[in-house]
Structure 1
C-alpha cells in the first residue's frame, strides 16, 4: 500500500496537527487505508485544500502511482487527425464502450467530507444545470431515495445504477447519509449519464453498445463543454481535475470497453500483456469483480500527465493489439474457439 510506504512517523506527527477549512484531517484521509490492508493507495482527499495541506504525503504517493513529475497538466479533447472508425464493426470482440470523468465543484467539500446541508445544496445546483441540457443530452434526474423497485431494476439492467457497496469508500466517509441527495441523470437513450454524489460529486459518463470509441468520446466532450461553462469544477494547474481518490487526478478519465477475450485471457501472462499496453483489466461488473465467459472490462491506466486525446489514442492502439492477439490464440485453438467455446476435454 502506498500509504504505508510514504507515511513516515515524522510526517504523521507533522501533518496530524493540520485541518482543512472543511474539517478534513490526516486521520480522516488515511482511515480507509487503515481499515483495509488490501487498499492500493489508502488515502482520500476531502476537498481541494487537501492537496496543498497534505502535499508532503499526497504528492509522493501520486508520483509513485502514475510516474508523473507533477510539472503540470493540460487538457486536450481534440481527435483531429486521429482515426475515428469503428474498431470492431462486426461486434466479434467489443460489446460496449464507456468513457467517464470525475468532477468535483470548487466551492464544496468532496463526498468524503461534505456536510449534509452542502450535499443538498450541491445536488440542487447540479440538477438545475442538468435540466437545461438540450438535444441528445436532455434527460431526467432520478433521486436514489425515490426510486421504485421497478426503476431500480431497470437501471441495474442497463448497468447505470451506483450503489452503497464499496467498503473502501465506506471507510473514507463517502457513504454517509445514504441515499439522501444522491441520484442519476440520464438521457432518453441512456447514452449520457451523470451520477451525483458517488465517489466524486459528479461522474459524467458517455456510453453505448459496440466499439465506436470516437463517438463516445465526442459526446462526452460536448457535454463537458456545456457543463464547464455553468459549474465551477475543482482543478489545479499541476494536478488537473481534483478528485477524491488521488489515482483519478489529471484528466480524471476512465475510458473502457467490455471486450470478449476468452482465449487470450486464459494465458498466465494476460494481465502483464495488458499492462505493457498501458491497459488495466477488471471483471465484467467493474472493479473487484470477476470476468464472465471471457468478457473483461479493459481501460486506460494513466490519467495524469496525459491528455484526453492521448488516452483515446493509446486505448485504441491497445485494443487493436488485444484483438489481434485474441485472433492469433483462436487460430492456434480448435475451430469453435472463435465463439468463446471451451476446448474439448483431453
Structure 2
C-alpha cells in the first residue's frame, strides 16, 4: 500500500490538475476521479506509485502528455491511465491491440530520397531502448546507473568497422571535449523541467555518457531520458545507408544486453509517447514552395502519416525554411513499415514540390 505522505501529495496534485483551466494534457483528460481512486494505492514490485507516474504532469500543467512510466510494470499496474493515453496519442492503438514483433525488413527496399541533394539537408533515424531487469529513471539507484553504464560500455567497445568509436562519460568530462560535443549537437544537457519534475535526473551526471563512431554518423546516449537512445545520421538523403547502420548497431548491442519488451506494447521506454518500434526517422528538408503555407505543408504531410516540426524539433520554428519531417506512427506497425512510411511520404512531398 502507498504511504500516507504519498497519498497526501497525490490528493494535492490531483486537485491542482482538476482546478487548472489552462491544462490540456492527456493526463488531465484521462485521470478521472474514478481512475484516480482506483490507482492511488497501487504500487509496482519495484515500489513505483501513481505519484511517480503523474508528478511531472502535475508540476508542469503545460505538458502535452504529462505521464512517465517509472518502471516496465507500471504500464500494467496503472493500465487504466496508460491505456487510454496510449490509444489517444498513438492514433487508436486500443487496449485489445497487439504491437507486431520486431521486424527491420529488407534494408535494400530503402533508397536515397534525394540523390540530387536539392531538398534534403540531412537524415536521421533513432530509437530508444531500455535494459531488461532495470527500472526507469525515477526508481534507479546510483549503483544501478553505474552498473548499466559499465555493461553498455563493455559492449560498445566491441563495435568494429564503421561503428567503431569512443565513449565519453559525463562524469569528469573536460571542458574541451564537452564544448566539441555541444558544437557537434551531440551532447544532451541536464534534463529539462519535465524530466526534472519526473525525478529523472537524480545522481546527475553519474552513469551518463555519450558514444560516437569516428565518422560521427552514429551516436548513442546512455541514461539520458531513456537507458539508451541509439541514433544514426548523416548529411543528405541516403536512408538505406543510415537505417542499415542503425539496424546493425541495435542487433550488435542486443547480443549481450537484452532489452525490455512487452508482447502487447513492443519496446518499453520511460515515456508512453515512445513505445512500440520507438523509431523516429526524420529529414531536415527545404520545400520552399510547399512550405510557403505551413498549414498546407502540414495537411499534405498528414496524408502520409508524417509530422512537421521546426528545425530544432518540437515547439520550434523553421530556420531558413528548413523543416524537420518524420514518421508519426510508432505503434501497431513494424520498424520496416515505420521507416518506409517516412521514405514514401518524403518522396511524395519532393514530387509535389517539383510540380509546383
TM-score by length of structure 1 reads 0.90
Is 1:222 aligned to residue 256 of structure 2?
Answer: no
In the alignment of these two chains, the number of paired residues is 328
Q: Give 1:76 shift.
A: 1.1
Out of 316, 319, 323, the position equivalent to 1:289 is 316
Is 1:68 aligned to 2:87, yes or no?
no
Please name the residue that 2:302 is paired with: 275
In structure 1, how many angstroms separate the alpha carbons of the residues matched to 2:50 and 2:300?
A: 37
Q: State the SS of the aligned residue for 1:248.
A: coil
Q: Which residue of 2 aligns with 1:234?
A: 260
Q: TM-score, normalised by structure 2?
A: 0.88
Is the Cα contact below 8 Å between 2:138 and 2:200 reproduced in 1? yes
Structure 1 residue 310 corresponds to structure 2 residue 337: yes
Partner residue in 2 for 1:341? none
Unaligned 5+ segments in structure 1 are: 330-346
Runs of 5+ consecutive residues of structure 2 not aligned to the other structure: 1-24
Is it true that 1:90 corresponds to 2:121 in the alignment?
A: no
Q: Secondary structure in 2 aligned to 1:112?
A: helix
Secondary structure of 1:207's match?
strand
CA deviation after TM superposition for structure 1 residue 327, in Å: 2.9
Q: Is the 8 A contact 2:108 2:240 kept in 1?
A: no
Contact kept? 1:186, 1:192, Cα under 8 Å: yes
C-alpha spacing 1:263/1:147, structure 2 compared with 1 (3 Å): farther
Matched, 1:325 2:352: yes
For 2:229, what is the secondary structure of its paired residue? strand
Deviates more, 1:258-267 or 1:98-107: 258-267
Q: Closer, same or farther in 2 for the Cα pair 1:7/1:223, shift >3 Å? A: same
Q: CA deviation at 1:80?
A: 5.7
1:211 matched residue in structure 2:
237
Could you say if the C-alpha distance between residues 305 and 135 of structure 1 is closer, same or farther in structure 2, counting changes exceeding 3 Å?
Answer: same
> 1:271: Cα distance to partner?
2.0
1:115 corresponds to 2:115: no
Distance 1:326 1:157 in 2: 32
1:45 matched residue in structure 2: 69
Asked whether the 8 Å contact 2:191–2:224 carries over to 1, the reply is: no
Secondary structure at the aligned position of 2:86 is classed as: helix
Aligned equivalents of 1:270, 1:92: Cα separation in 2: 18
1:178 paired with 2:204, answer yes
Q: CA RMSD in A?
A: 1.6
Where 1:321 maps in the other structure, the secondary structure is helix
Report the secondary structure of 2:329's partner residue. coil
Aligned partners of 1:200 and 1:312: how far apart in 2?
21
Q: 1:273–1:166: structure 2 CA closer, same or farther, 3 Å change rule?
A: farther
SS at match of 1:208: strand
Structure 1 residues 143 and 118: alpha-carbon distance in aligned structure 2, compared to 1, 3 A threshold: same
Q: 2:51 aligns with which of 24, 27, 30?
A: 27
Deviations, residues 242-282 of structure 1 (Å, cap 9, x unaligned): 01111111001111111112332231332232222211122
CA distance in structure 2 between the aligned counterparts of 1:283 and 1:164, rounded to whole angstroms? 22
Q: Does 1:6 align with 2:20?
A: no
* Shift of residue 59, structure 1, vs aligned partner: 1.2
Partner of 1:216: helix, strand, or coil? helix
Structure 1: how far apart are the matches of 2:256 and 2:165? 17
Residue 313 of structure 1 and its aligned partner are, at CA, apart by: 1.4
Which residue of 125, 129, 138 corresponds with 2:164? 138
Give CA-to-partner distance per residue, 1:122-151, whole Å, 9 cap, x none.
Answer: 111111111111221111110123322222
Partner of 1:154: 180
Which residue matches 1:58? 82
Contact 1:262 1:293 in 2 (8 A): no
CA 1:125–1:236 in 2, change beyond 3 Å: closer, same or farther?
Answer: same
Checking the alignment, whether the CA contact within 8 Å between 2:287 and 2:353 is kept in structure 1 is yes
